């Protein structure tokens, strides 16, 4: 039914697999639309207790936004896409049921931002996290500048966002980005076991507890998200964005001018 997603139910646990493995599960516009549609289904499913999200293939959870679609992203599109994906990820964050991110490989850019919208993250030893937007001449636009500092602290979030460097599973665990690390072949078993444990708890208590914990993170988030989105749009107008995106697609090193 979906082209870019696989959704299965294992009793009262939903398993969503982001499914564009040949593009490392990059988030395209089509994938965003399908995700919105699927979320409608999930929000209306009263039987569901926990949702687990993972990526297809053995290489990536999600390697970010589809960089091909960045070529034509100007300020107007940048603002719209950013707002749209912020909303989709906020719907995931605010689902009544807990969401477990089972990070099986690269979680980059929008992929890391999707992981951050999950209630709990577990990963395989192969997982790598990063926020490489700045290397493309843009900034995160799917909630990353707001959610990452809340989870790992301002300094670590700054370093990740300003360098664009990737970190490995041990470092992710050390800074609290993930709660558990599994050998690659054991990741889904580990994630499903955790999901089953939560699914076995009283559903209303789980639902209320999740909501209460989520609310603890609200500072002046509205203006933070708005600022992020405007600055994301502004970054889309720069020469360095054009250069960064072209360089990636042409498989060469970008030359940036700060313009
Ligand atoms: N958007 C679109 N396509 C992507 C992609 C993305 N974010 N990430 C990877 N792909 C595609 C590659 O272009 C390649 O496609 P091709 O086979 O048609 O050429 C395919 O997925 C495999 O990726 P490749 O780069 O060959 O794998 P690798 O093992 O050499 O490198 C990464 C893996 C993750 C380091 C590298 O793909 C990468 O840096 N991706 C972009 C990450 C990024 O900047 N994300 C943020 C975007 S805002």
Domains and CATH numbers, the chain: 5-199 (3.90.226.10), 203-249 (1.10.12)
pLDDT tier at 231 (50, 70, 90 boundaries)?
confident
State whether the beta carbon of 201 lies less than 6 angstroms from ligand 1. Answer: no
Task: Give the count of beta carbons closer than 10 Å to the beta carbon of residue 208.
Answer: 12
> Which one, of 208, 144, 201, lies nearest residue 177 by Cα?
144
Taking residues 227-239, report their average pLDDT: 89
pLDDT for 69-126, tens place per residue?
999 999 999 999 999 999 999 999 999 999 999 999 999 999 999 999 999 999 999 9
Taking residues 44-65, report their average pLDDT: 97
State whether the beta carbon of 113 lies less than 6 angstroms from ligand 1. Answer: no
**pLDDT above 90 for 1:** no
**pLDDT above 90 for 169:** yes
Q: What are phi and psi of 101, to 5 degrees?
A: -90, 120
State whether the beta carbon of 129 lies less than 6 angstroms from ligand 1. Answer: no
Active-site residue, 113 included:
yes
Residue nearest to atom 1 of ligand 1 (CA): 66
Taking residues 37-54, report their average pLDDT: 97
Under 8 Å between Cβ of 156 and 176: no
pLDDT tier at 12 (50, 70, 90 boundaries)?
very high
Active-site residue, 133 included:
yes
* CA 49 / ligand 1 centre spacing (Å): 34
């Amino acid at each position: 039914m979906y082209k870019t997603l696989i959704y299965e139910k294992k009793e009262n646990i939903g398993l969503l697999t982001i499914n564009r493995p040949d593009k490392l599960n990059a988030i395209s516009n089509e994938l965003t639309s399908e995700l919105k549609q699927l979320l409608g289904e999930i929000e209306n499913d009263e039987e569901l207790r926990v949702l687990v999200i993972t990526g297809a293939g053995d290489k990536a959870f999600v390697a970010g936004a589809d960089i091909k679609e960045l070529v034509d992203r100007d300020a107007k599109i940048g603002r719209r896409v950013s707002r749209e994906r912020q909303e989709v990820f906020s719907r995931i964050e605010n689902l009544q049921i807990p969401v477990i991110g089972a990070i099986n490989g690269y979680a980059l850019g929008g992929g890391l931002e999707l992981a951050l919208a999950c209630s709990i993250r577990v990963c395989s030893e192969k997982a790598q996290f990063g926020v490489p937007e700045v290397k493309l001449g843009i900034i995160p636009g799917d909630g990353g500048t707001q959610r990452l500092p809340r989870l790992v602290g301002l300094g670590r979030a700054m370093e990740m966002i300003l360098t664009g460097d990737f970190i490995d599973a041990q470092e992710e665990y050390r800074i609290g980005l993930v709660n558990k690390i599994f050998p690659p072949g054991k990741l889904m078993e580990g994630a499903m076991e955790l999901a089953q444990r939560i699914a076995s708890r009283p559903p209303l208590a789980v639902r209320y507890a999740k909501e209460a914990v989520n609310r603890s993170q609200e500072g002046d988030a509205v203006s933070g998200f708005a600022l992020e989105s405007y600055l994301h749009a502004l970054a889309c107008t720069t020469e360095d964005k054009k250069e960064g995106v072209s360089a990636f697609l042409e498989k060469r090193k970008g030359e940036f001018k700060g313009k």
